[in-house]
Structure 1
Amino acid sequence: MTKKMLTSTITAALIVGAASTTFAASNPFSDVPADSWAYDAVTTLANDGVIDGFPDGTYQGNKTMTRYEMAQITARAMAKTDLEKADKALVDKLAAEFAEELDNLGVRVADLEKKSDNVKFGGELRYRYYDINTDSGIADTTKNKILFRLQPKAYIGNSGWTANARLDYEMDLSTDSNSNNVVVDRAYIEGPLFGATVTAGRTPVFTAQGLLFDDRISGGTVTFGSDEFKTSLAAGRYNKKHEKSSDPDKTSRDITTEYYGIQFDYTPNDKLAFNTGYTALTGLDASKADLEKIGYGKDNSANFWYAGGSYTFDKNIKFVGEYAQNTKAKTEDKAWTTELQYKGADISDTGSWGMYAGYRNIEAFASIAPTYDDIIGADFKGAVVGTSYVPAENILATIQYFDGKEIHTNKDASKFFANVDFFF
């Protein structure tokens, strides 16, 4: 693509309406005459510092532009603070295309975004359907619902800190009913502090590749180290259902436990990744008698350790495994998962897809809030399969299936899960 063609692409967004503007500046390039179709566009971009020419005062618009040169123009365009919404969308696409070159220039896309807009809004509209069948009848249900999620992110000056939130609103299509209110699922600040990355507020926590915990706590996290070896700490209060107690004799504090965790991640190369960690819960919402029945002891606590990792065979095939155990429970205390993944769906790449097959065994007292949509939950084990496909940019369709057993009854159980996400 020539420089003239690239310039016309950028200026289509950056100088809408420029034809009616009178330019006071003199001609910046000797080889772009005033009667050229590109004169106004090139002059505007040159005066704004978005483009420059060659030392001899020429623009040489018929020369092929390198990706490095294009990255320089993109960086300057992104630094502009007065872009219209449509302009910003085009520049964002250019930034994604030339992200590697921008990084080599020492220009981080995230840093440029801070200059162009102080608040970013993202989110999704999700349609979800699932059907659970168990021979015991304990978990049988069918759900047909829509979730609207809004995720604002605000940059706090040039400090490197951001304010983040996630708001959810759910509708049940089976009954044509709405949830009672908008749920503030997350609200936290994040930023650098003494060489670490810190979060505080109602903050997300993800441990053991999702086997043990994928939820949020009211507290904070600290992550430090390198790309090769990283340590993550988390502490706060955790309410499993994130709601008030339905028991009139209890307060919300009674059903909220203290959460403490540490995880180590070691990634020696592009193929191998390992993790290990420890998570403790104290002040569990249960009587001492009930805890003793399941072997927890008398201190209303649970202690989990875990280890796992992944191995990438090539660009298409990856193996993942994880194991966890609750040392306070003397029965149904273990959880493990194995998974073989093929390819992967990328929402920015139309037509991309991926699939996986695996086996999960999550005993009743061995996990807190696992991430998996394909399994019914704790106290179930069995085979899982799934596939995802991107029919159009930012649209992700997923189908998953579980076939296994309820652990404590050894009765058959199954789950069909379908999900379509529209990201914005």
Structure 2
Amino acid sequence: MKRQTSMALAAVFAMSVAGTALAAPANPFVDVPAKHWSYDSVNKLAQAGVISGYGDGTYKGDKTLTRYEMATIVAKAMANADKADAETLKTIEALKAEYGAELANLGVRVDNLEKNASKVKFTGEVRTRYDYQDRNSGETFDSTKEANRLRLNMEAQLDKNVTFHGRYEANTEWGNGSDNESKLTQAYISGKVGEVNYSFGRQPVWLGQGMIADNESNNDGFFLSGGNKVKVTAGAFKKDAETYDNKDIDANYIAANIDAQLNKNLNLTASYLADKDDNYYKTTSAGLKYSGIKNFTVTGEYGENDSDAANGNHNGDAAKAWMAQLKYRGAERDRVGSLGIWAGYRSAEKGFDPLELTTLDAGRNYDDTYGILDNVKGPEFGVEYTVFKNGILTVQYNDLELKNPTAGQQKDKESFFAHLKYWF
């Protein structure tokens, strides 16, 4: 009897173990083979900033992970999917499919993660900058300026073809917390209806190669565009500005742009900009960008402003301007040690850009007797270098002078700036 009882208990135990084994999920502690594709995929996620790896930002290829460990990594990537671009999202989806069973064992609910993910994607940019401008005798402006700028960018998908873009910006001089300027510089939607793209609201305006407008802030208007290799854009916007004689101008503009990508190396542009009554702008330009020489990019543009103000400065003729730049390579945010070096030249007659819709980042912040591309000529030299991932240091020198100085006015307008930009 005892023997029969023992055999019966053993059979019940064996059946219970077998049943448990059949019901149990796959063993999550099985090693992922060393040459499995998911290792490369995880390293790509680390390099893209979606997940954090070891000190060098990667997961060691010589360390074999279990499927349980790999699933934990994938779960973290899913939680940070809002940081991913389209290509990185594809990688995450592939890993989710591979480790679906292990994710389920961990209690990871894909649907819940996607529902709880924020619809608003935030990114930011900080710029710490030092500016110097040569101050001639008799001029009273401060020759140096040190300032910080914070930009907080927002993006949200409102509908399948409608996206919101926003930017909040704050500027302050070094050591001066009370001299703070904060403003909403962008707030617009972009979308597509059929084959036509549109943007509406406070948005950046860029025309041609940037010579007649490269303004990122406080342009309120509406633009339509269409085309692929030849893109045609037209629209209208409003922007407040101040003239050199301190007149506040609340101007309405119309703008048009043709951007033709003839091949992978050559881009041609034609642009038009005018204010409502042609008082300050009636400007046309033609430009090009060529990158067919290894490691070099050539950019150039020529334009004329035939507005009333420009005609008044040139006996009825248009104010003319041109710029050119030769650049070697370029600093890339995700490549530490990458750099760019360039040399350029600009020349603009008085009245070409009286309200400074062009910025061209020349470092002038103090003297109102000339514009970035108005009544000025001279070369510029610059270098940029990626000092850490998402951090670029730029140094630029402009050897400028006035084209037409007034009586007693000094011609020399040399300037220098250095800034560190980093993104998050």
Q: Same fold (TM over 0.5)?
A: yes
Partner of 1:317: 296
| Pair 1:303-2:282 in alignment | yes
The answer to whether the Cα contact below 8 Å between 2:214 and 2:360 also exists between their aligned partners in 1 is no
Distance, in Å, in 2 between the alignment partners of 1:316 and 1:357 is 14
Q: Secondary structure at the match of 1:413?
A: coil
Partner of 2:249: 255
Offset of residue 142 of structure 1: 1.5
Offset of residue 264 of structure 1: 0.3
Partner of 2:35: 64
Distance, in Å, in 2 between the alignment partners of 1:145 and 1:403 is 22
Partner of 2:420: 420
Alignment of 1:336-375 (within 5 A): 336-367=322-353, 368-374=356-362
Match for 1:389 among 385, 389, 392? 385
Distance, in Å, in 2 between the alignment partners of 1:275 and 1:113 is 42
Q: 1:196 to 1:359 in 2, by over 3 A?
A: same
Q: Which runs of 5+ in 2 are unaligned?
A: 1-19, 51-72, 93-112, 365-371
1:347-389 CA deviation, whole Å, 9 max, x = no partner? Answer: 1111111110011112231124213112641221101010111
Offset of residue 340 of structure 1: 0.3
The RMSD of aligned alpha carbons is: 3.8
Distance, in Å, in 2 between the alignment partners of 1:381 and 1:223 is 34
Distance, in Å, in 1 between the alignment partners of 2:396 and 2:126 is 19
The answer to whether the Cα contact below 8 Å between 2:81 and 2:89 also exists between their aligned partners in 1 is no
Q: Secondary structure at the match of 1:182?
A: strand
Alignment of 1:153-164 (within 5 A): 153-157=155-159, 159-164=160-165
- Mean CA deviation greater in 89-98 or 203-212: 89-98
Alignment of 1:145-156 (within 5 A): 145-156=147-158
Counterpart of 1:64 in structure 2: which amino acid? Answer: K
Counterpart of 1:399 in structure 2: which amino acid? Answer: V
The answer to whether the Cα contact below 8 Å between 1:166 and 1:184 also exists between their aligned partners in 2 is yes
Q: 1:333 to 1:68 in 2, by over 3 A?
A: farther
Distance, in Å, in 2 between the alignment partners of 1:280 and 1:146 is 33
Distance, in Å, in 1 between the alignment partners of 2:293 and 2:35 is 35
Distance, in Å, in 1 between the alignment partners of 2:382 and 2:114 is 35
Partner of 1:8: none
The answer to whether the Cα contact below 8 Å between 2:259 and 2:269 also exists between their aligned partners in 1 is yes
Q: 1:312 to 1:351 in 2, by over 3 A?
A: same
Partner of 1:53: none
Q: 1:239 to 1:95 in 2, by over 3 A?
A: closer
Distance, in Å, in 2 between the alignment partners of 1:310 and 1:113 is 42
Counterpart of 1:371 in structure 2: which amino acid? Answer: T
Distance, in Å, in 2 between the alignment partners of 1:343 and 1:327 is 36
Q: 1:101 to 1:258 in 2, by over 3 A?
A: same
Larger Rg: 2
Offset of residue 276 of structure 1: 0.4
The answer to whether the Cα contact below 8 Å between 2:376 and 2:403 also exists between their aligned partners in 1 is yes
Partner of 1:141: 143
The answer to whether the Cα contact below 8 Å between 2:221 and 2:238 also exists between their aligned partners in 1 is yes
Q: 1:127 to 1:348 in 2, by over 3 A?
A: same
Q: 1:372 to 1:70 in 2, by over 3 A?
A: same
1:300-327 CA deviation, whole Å, 9 max, x = no partner? Answer: 3520000010111344111110111102
Distance, in Å, in 2 between the alignment partners of 1:25 and 1:220 is 64
The answer to whether the Cα contact below 8 Å between 1:67 and 1:98 also exists between their aligned partners in 2 is no
Alignment of 1:65-214 (within 5 A): 65-66=36-37, 70=41, 87=77, 116-135=117-136, 141-157=143-159, 159-173=160-174, 176-214=176-214
Number of equivalenced pairs: 334
Offset of residue 160 of structure 1: 2.5
Distance, in Å, in 1 between the alignment partners of 2:412 and 2:114 is 51
Q: Secondary structure at the match of 1:386?
A: strand
The answer to whether the Cα contact below 8 Å between 1:114 and 1:155 also exists between their aligned partners in 2 is no
The answer to whether the Cα contact below 8 Å between 2:331 and 2:338 also exists between their aligned partners in 1 is yes
Q: Secondary structure at the match of 1:240?
A: strand
Q: 1:95 to 1:172 in 2, by over 3 A?
A: closer
Counterpart of 2:238 in structure 1: which amino acid? Answer: R
Distance, in Å, in 2 between the alignment partners of 1:24 and 1:356 is 68
Alignment of 1:247-286 (within 5 A): 255-283=249-277
The answer to whether the Cα contact below 8 Å between 1:224 and 1:230 also exists between their aligned partners in 2 is yes
Distance, in Å, in 2 between the alignment partners of 1:115 and 1:277 is 44
Partner of 1:37: 29
Q: Which runs of 5+ in 1 are unaligned?
A: 1-22, 40-60, 103-111, 248-253, 284-298
Match for 1:406 among 386, 402, 416? 402
The answer to whether the Cα contact below 8 Å between 1:205 and 1:214 also exists between their aligned partners in 2 is yes
Distance, in Å, in 2 between the alignment partners of 1:385 and 1:114 is 50
Partner of 2:223: 221
Q: Secondary structure at the match of 2:241?
A: coil
Distance, in Å, in 2 between the alignment partners of 1:95 and 1:257 is 38
Offset of residue 91 of structure 1: 5.4
Offset of residue 118 of structure 1: 0.8
Q: Secondary structure at the match of 1:412?
A: coil
